[in-house]
Amino acid sequence: MNSLQDCFELYNGVKIPCIGLGTYKSGADTVETVRTAIGAGYRLIDTAAAYYTEEYVGEGIRTAGVPREEIVVTTKLRNSDHGYDATMQAFERSVKKLGLDYIDLYLMHWPIPIQYRMIWEDAMVGTWKAFEELYKDGRIKAIGVSNFKPHHIETLMERSEILPMVNQIRICPGDTPMETINYCNEKGILLEGYSPFGQGAAFKVPELKAVADKYGKTVAQICIRWSLQRGFVPLPKSGSAERVSANANVFDFVISDEDMALISGLTGCCGFAPDSDNINF
């Protein structure tokens, strides 16, 4: 990977830019942040119905001065909208809020929302049937999941046709769930990593500070470069134009095998993702 326009290719041939912009809890500032990111070369923008940023993302894309077809837009299904009919309605709401004719990548945000815990398999399969239908109709270019463990995907595929193309999970130094990572790699499912800085915890990790100093880079740049070299798509979030640009400045150095192993060997320094089998939302 040599630039923000370089891509990973999904098993269906769709290309996903190697670094994306996250928009979780960005609020109305998202419009300007999206414009800034696109101006800096970003071509992957990540949102979700639960982020309440879809309208802002859509406006930012429309006013950024770059053709729509050059931008890969990801959004995610809200937890309260599982099941075939609810998913179809939720998709239409997201498309309307984004102001787009199609969505590049649509993800099921969590496998077992609390309100569906007793019937999660049926609800999940119903949702995925809607995803498959929208994909076949060309309204979604690629479909995937988020926060899924191997057993969730296995359960899904027992009653479904299309294997998820992407699994977006929390990946940062100290939180690299290898069972899920290895499973997705074996299945050809691209891994995207949200919270690549561990929600800011990475900036306080002495080992990461030492590596950053060694390469003359920021801790954020080290985390992003580490993700790229591991084959993950990092989704850094920032409301600062300066940091949005700085986060993309990761193509002029390579982390050594020794330092990659050091970073990959960290455990718990940035906390861990919620247990997706037992979320309370």
Distance CA 57, CA 28 (A): 9
The number of helices, as runs of H, and strands, as runs of E, in the chain is 10, 10
Q: Which one, of 103, 99, 36, lies nearest residue 76 by Cα? A: 103
| Four-point Cα dihedral 8, 9, 15, 21, nearest 10 | -30
Scanning the chain, the segments in alpha helix (DSSP H) are 30-39, 54-62, 84-98, 120-136, 150-157, 178-187, 206-215, 219-230, 241-247, 257-264
DSSP-assigned letter for residue 29: G
Please give the C-alpha separations between residue 220 and each of 195, 197, 244, in angstroms, as whole numbers: 11, 7, 10
Catalytic residue among 24, 42, 51, 102: 51
Distance CA 92, CA 186 (A): 33
User: Tokens 């330092």 map to which residue?
Assistant: 259
Q: Which one, of 91, 89, 110, lies nearest residue 102 by Cα? A: 91
Give the dihedral sign, CA 168/173/177/179. positive
Helix (H, G, I), strand (E, B) or coil at 258: helix
Q: Please report how the helices 206-215 and 219-230 are oriented relative to each other, as an axis angle in degrees rounded to 10.
A: 90
Question: Is 51 designated active site?
Answer: yes
Q: What are phi and psi of 227, to 5 degrees?
A: -60, -45
Catalytic residues, which ones? 51
